[in-house]
Structure 1
Amino acid sequence: MSDVIQAASAPKPVGVYPHARRVGDLLFLSGIGPRDPATNEIAGNEYFADGRLRKYDIEAQARAVFANVRAVLTESGARWEDLVDVTVYLTDMARDFKAYNAIWAEHFADPASAPCRTTLGITALPTPIAIELKCVAALRRAED
């Protein structure tokens, strides 16, 4: 048995899938990107007049991704501190890892309390974004 979560304060999924699914004491988040929930704009992207991507700002996108993950966690009854595993997808590992890693350290200053993390360099994501996070959280029971 599982509970499906569609978070009103997070960007709409780009396909037919939920923002998250709770199974027992675990919460599995679908891939979350940096789109703005209200406008659907991608943080830090600049475009040519013909709509092609001119450049992006990985720091702006990373901050937006963290905000969107937090929104899904909150609407799911979880907290930032409940994250136990994060998979990070970067479309340009060589260019963006250092800046992303610095922003990660702002959000998780203590390695002892940070979630596990795997970072993958990939060739593309389904929209013109440079980063996406896939997260798992361990939910606390009411008596905890």
Structure 2
Amino acid sequence: MSSGIHASAAPKAVGHYPHARRVGELLFLSGIGPRDPATNAIPGNRHDAAGNLVAYDIEAQARAVFANVRAVLEASGARWENLVDVTVYLTDMARDFPAYNAVWADYFPDAARAPCRTTLGITALPTPIAIELKCIARIED
């Protein structure tokens, strides 16, 4: 098995794991969130005076998570077009799916060339983010 890949242009992992691992022609990305790589801030999150999360912008988070996925792909020797399968985790499926789906269409305008996708509604993620992506890409030698 290959060694783990750590992308300096992506936010640090929130646990003890690599951003990605290549096995043969397949590249498996760990869950990637929307945190800003430079500041660790979560785009679109708004907090009250006590620091409690009061609102978030799913479009801002979706665009940020795509940027972070692209950074990990590039650090791994892959391109956006190499994505073959994406699992999307949303913490509020009813509220956020339409906006997320519109952002997806911006990044993958041709459905015939888009990667396969599964979208799951979940109750929480490890940090106060509303979206996380788990991706598989194919890298040709």
**Which category describes the TM-score, using the shorter chain as reference length?**
over 0.9
How many percent of aligned residue pairs carry the same amino acid? 77
Pairwise CA distance, 1:2? 1.3
Distance, in Å, in 1 between the alignment partners of 2:36 and 2:112 is: 31
Distance, in Å, in 2 between the alignment partners of 1:24 and 1:49 is: 50
Pairwise CA distance, 1:118? 0.1
SS in 1 for 2:85: strand
Amino acid at match of 1:137: A
Unaligned residue ranges in structure 1 (runs of 5+): none
Q: What is the 5 A alignment of 1:89-104?
A: 89-104=89-104
Pairwise CA distance, 1:51? 1.2
Unaligned residue ranges in structure 2 (runs of 5+): none
Pairwise CA distance, 1:8? 0.3
Please say if residues 31 and 132 of structure 1, whose CA atoms lie closer than 8 Å, have aligned partners that are also in contact: yes
Distance, in Å, in 2 between the alignment partners of 1:10 and 1:91 is: 22
Pairwise CA distance, 1:3? 2.9
Please say if residues 91 and 125 of structure 1, whose CA atoms lie closer than 8 Å, have aligned partners that are also in contact: yes
Amino acid at match of 1:37: P
* 1:27 counterpart residue number: 27
Cα deviation, 1:93-117, whole Å, max 9, x if unaligned, reads 0000000000000000111110000
Distance, in Å, in 1 between the alignment partners of 2:129 and 2:41 is: 10
Distance, in Å, in 2 between the alignment partners of 1:99 and 1:111 is: 17
Query: What is the TM-score when the length of structure 1 is the normalising length?
Result: 0.97
Runs (4+) off by over 2 Å: none
Distance, in Å, in 2 between the alignment partners of 1:49 and 1:57 is: 19
Q: CA RMSD in A?
A: 0.5
Query: What is the TM-score when the length of structure 2 is the normalising length?
Result: 0.99
